[in-house]
A = this chain, B = another copy of it.
Amino acid sequence: MKIKYNFNNLMSDNIGEGSGVSEEEIDSLSGRCKEIDSNLKKMRKEGKIHFFDLPYQENVVKDIKDYAGTVADKFENLVILGIGGSALGGIALHKALNHPYYNILSKDKRKTPRIFFLDNIDPDTHSAIFDIIDVRTSCFTFISKSGSTAETNAQFLIFMGKLKEILGNELKDHIVFITDKEKGNFRKIADDEGIKSFIIPDGVGGRFSVLTPVGLLPAAVVGIDIEKLLEGAALMDKICEKQNIWENPAYMNAVLHYILDTKKGKNISVMMSYSDALFGIADWYRQLWAESLGKKYSTDGEIVHVGQTPVKALGVTDQHSQLQLYNEGPNDKIITLLGTEKFNSEIMLGSFYQNIEGISYLSGHSLNELLFAELTATETALTKNNRPNCSIILPEINELALGQIFFMLEVQTAFSGCLYNINPFDQPGVEMGKQFAYGLLGRKGFGDKKAEIENRKKKNEKYII
């Protein structure tokens, strides 16, 4: 079953010329889009854009499933240590497909290990995790492509301390690395000490890595059907083969976002999930869109400073928080409504207090109906207010649908990068901050960075309190 993408309410027919896109505006980009399409296909053929190949990796799947089975048999907890792209895909998958209170469920209701993603370096969280897991029954997965991510290395030192203390030489059986096939600290340690590891394929950056072991291994351990996931991605790959914008949902969504950003002043891209389970997709998209497209230089070296700011929102909750702004504030957003046609449960609203009209109109409906009514109502109100909105609707929340949406958004992002004429696969803008942090920590070779911060601090600081 295919996911649905509806862009009716991004068009000027529905929301006016000021904020909507006309068919002519889309067609005016068709020459450029053809070029981009050809170029992407050429690069794909030459093996230069690796995420395109990820739906097709039968061998890796078997290895992951085998190992995941062992982990599920042997351990009660799986702890994932990694940050950014090393966590967001796994979190999105787990949140989408498992029980909303998975880690609280009693063991007989769960079957697979509890799962914890530690994707920050908060000291209190790192202290707290040891209150709820027993290291002796836990497996620790360290994820970093380069093996030199400061945060993940710091976590590694913390957990090595604990593991050595409690497990001694057995600690090796409790660790797995997901990292580069040749380079980096984690690869060296894994190979030197014979610790289990999985490979993040060459050329796949963190934000495009959900369909590598980075996303697949945690998913497989907690019972997610990773083959169906890849099948969904392959299905979307087929759909996105079309060169014609009007037949290609990823290209069309890229073109519409591009026009709305660059011609209509919509510098914000909201993804609003009308499902608790799909909220993690919005968070995953947030990284994909921001880090891929937020760039200073064009591929020609010109200073361009482009990139929409992605925002995640949750329906219906944020109707009581953000919708006032979305409807009445500046018309500076595109809103993608993310939903599902079918939930696992249908919950009926009972017939109590029928004498109170403010309650009785709800009775006889299901919670599902209320949620759909609110989604439709929000869509209609936004459109009446000329606010650009589109929707991506899953037939139901399963692996096949998730594979499609991940892949569609990745293709859309790569295509968007080409429209903006920037490199969607690098992230040079985080380097400066890393170097300042190295300086502050006294890492060799970064002394000048420390000095620079100290000089800045000498200036008058503006405090009231």
Q: Is the CB of A290 within 8 A of B121?
A: no
Also in contact, A296 and B328, with CB within 8 A (given A84-B321, A366-B123, A444-B357): yes
Q: Is the CB of A123 within 8 A of B329?
A: no
What distance in Å separates the Cβ of A462 from its nearest Cβ neighbour in chain B?
4
What distance in Å separates the Cβ of A456 from its nearest Cβ neighbour in chain B?
6
**Nearest neighbor of A261 in chain B, beta-carbon distance:** B330
Q: Is the CB of B123 within 8 A of A463?
A: no
Q: Is the CB of A377 within 8 A of B427?
A: no
Instruction: Write the A87-124 contact mask toward B (1 if CB under 8 angstroms, else 0).
Output: 11000000000011101110001000000000111111
Is A287 located at the chain interface by the 8 A CB criterion?
Answer: yes
Distance in angstroms between the alpha carbons of A3 and B423 in the assembled complex: 41
Instruction: Categorize the interface residue count of chain A.
Output: 35 or more
Q: Which residues of B contact A373 (CB under 8 A)?
A: 436-437, 440-441
Distance in angstroms between the alpha carbons of A295 and B385 in the assembled complex: 13
Q: Which residues of B contact A305 (CB under 8 A)?
A: 328-331
Distance in angstroms between the alpha carbons of A285 and B207 in the assembled complex: 28
What distance in Å separates the Cβ of A11 from its nearest Cβ neighbour in chain B?
6
Q: Is the CB of A430 within 8 A of B327?
A: yes
Partner of A121, one of B122, B126, B367, B441: B367
Q: Is the CB of A131 within 8 A of B156?
A: no
One complex includes copies of this chain to the number of 2
Also in contact, A105 and B127, with CB within 8 A (given A153-B362, A465-B4): no
Partner of A381, one of B83, B123, B436: B436
Partner of A384, one of B164, B294, B367, B432: B432
Q: Is the CB of B153 within 8 A of A5?
A: no
**Nearest neighbor of A321 in chain B, beta-carbon distance:** B287
Q: Is the CB of A359 within 8 A of B156?
A: yes
Is A347 located at the chain interface by the 8 A CB criterion?
Answer: yes
Instruction: Write the A1-14 contact mask toward B (1 if CB under 8 angstroms, else 0).
Output: 01111111001011
Partner of A429, one of B248, B327, B463: B327
Is A448 located at the chain interface by the 8 A CB criterion?
Answer: no
Distance in angstroms between the alpha carbons of A351 and B153 in the assembled complex: 12
**Nearest neighbor of A346 in chain B, beta-carbon distance:** B123
Distance in angstroms between the alpha carbons of A119 and B276 in the assembled complex: 10
Q: List 12 A-B contacts (CB under 8 A).
A: A84-B317, A101-B132, A105-B131, A122-B277, A126-B367, A164-B352, A207-B321, A290-B322, A374-B437, A376-B440, A380-B456, A381-B432
Closest 7 CB pairs of A and B: A84-B320, A294-B325, A377-B436, A294-B329, A307-B329, A127-B345, A328-B429
